[in-house]
Amino acid sequence: MRVRKYLESQYLIKILEDKKLYFGSIKNYEDSDINEGRVTDSFLKLQGKLFWNDSIKNLFQDLPDSSDFQTVFDDASYNLSQQARADILRTIIARDHSYIQCWTKNLNENELLWNTFGDGGMGASIISTIENLNDILNSYSYLDEEHLPFDGPIFYNRESLLPDDIAFLGSDQYLSPCFSLSGRDDNHFMHENEYRFLLINQTSFHVDWSETYDENDEITGSFIEDIIQRRIIIDHTKDEIFVPFDSFDFVKKVILGEHISKNDRQKITKLCRDLNIIVADKQL
């Protein structure tokens, strides 16, 4: 299946020159997009939990620094079951260590996408396929052994999100906040028809599941303390991951924006021709 990515000229040139794909931390988008990386109202419902209070919502809206995280979390979740607390903590860890790259399944020219992501027509766009991009991520994950790849469509109506929608996540449904928008104006983004690729640092939240439950089949306090500590001690300075690739076969076509500068046009055209990549102008 083909997908398309709009981007500024400088980022396309960097991809062509460096042979690397950029994955930004989902935390990088918090200031510009309040809907990113938030836990949806339906998240605990999907986990079979019926209780979801305003304190937990506020916790996810503005996660505190590590220094006071445990106190704030304890205050917000004092009347939740330990299972619910564990689910929330796993989601927080996943959110802290997820890196994303966003594409669209809409292959037609889209002025909103050009304006928002294509630098108002001064940038470019790439046509690729889900299969080719997954090949790159799987190869990277196999060699890296630290990051696990996931991919799937973004869901815009959080209240209609069902378990079958995120079945592609399998047992990793705590990643659902990475594949759904949770703001009050979710539907305003439906024109993006986004398909997302995600890398998550699996070592950052790995725990010994054999010690998760006690003899009464209850989540142990030590498990919760351990996962909180992992969030506190993990280095949060890594804002991006660069994924190398061996071949440009994944690039099916490069489309230049109508307002792209002469210098960028010449540079991108030359790079693409040297790499045997088809270059075309945006259809007006």
Of 102, 100, 137, 117, nearest in space to 25 by CA: 100
Question: Phi, psi at residue 95, to the nearest 5°?
Answer: -60, -40
| Residue 219 DSSP symbol | B
| Residue 152 DSSP symbol | E
Chain centroid to Cα 265, Å, comes to 30
Unique residue bearing structure tokens 């999100």:
161
Cα 241 to Cα 35: distance, rounded to the nearest angstrom? 22
Cα 49 to Cα 47: distance, rounded to the nearest angstrom? 6
Count CB atoms within 10 A of the CB of residue 54.
8
Range of the domain at 200: 2-281
Cα 48 to Cα 162: distance, rounded to the nearest angstrom? 12
pLDDT at position 50 is 40
Burial-class residue 257 by CB neighbours within 10 Å (0-12, 13-18, 19+): buried
Instruction: Please state the pTM of the whole predicted model.
Output: 0.78
Question: Phi, psi at residue 73, to the nearest 5°?
Answer: -65, -45
Q: In this structure, are residues 30 and 41 in contact, taking their beta carbons and an 8 Å threshold?
A: no
Q: What is the pLDDT of residues 65-122, one digit of tens each?
A: 555 666 666 676 666 666 666 666 777 777 777 888 999 999 999 999 999 899 999 9
Structure tokens at 252: 């099916």
Cα 212 to Cα 254: distance, rounded to the nearest angstrom? 49
Helices assigned H by DSSP within the chain:
9-18, 43-46, 54-61, 66-76, 82-96, 111-117, 130-144, 221-233, 262-274
Q: What is the pLDDT of residues 1-44, one digit of tens each?
A: 999 999 999 999 999 999 999 998 877 765 455 556 555 545 54
What's the mean pLDDT when you consider all of the chain?
76
Domain count, the chain: 1
Q: What is the pLDDT of residues 98-107, one digit of tens each?
A: 888 999 999 9
Q: What is the pLDDT of residues 186-219, one digit of tens each?
A: 556 778 889 999 998 876 555 554 555 566 555 5
pLDDT at position 186 is 53
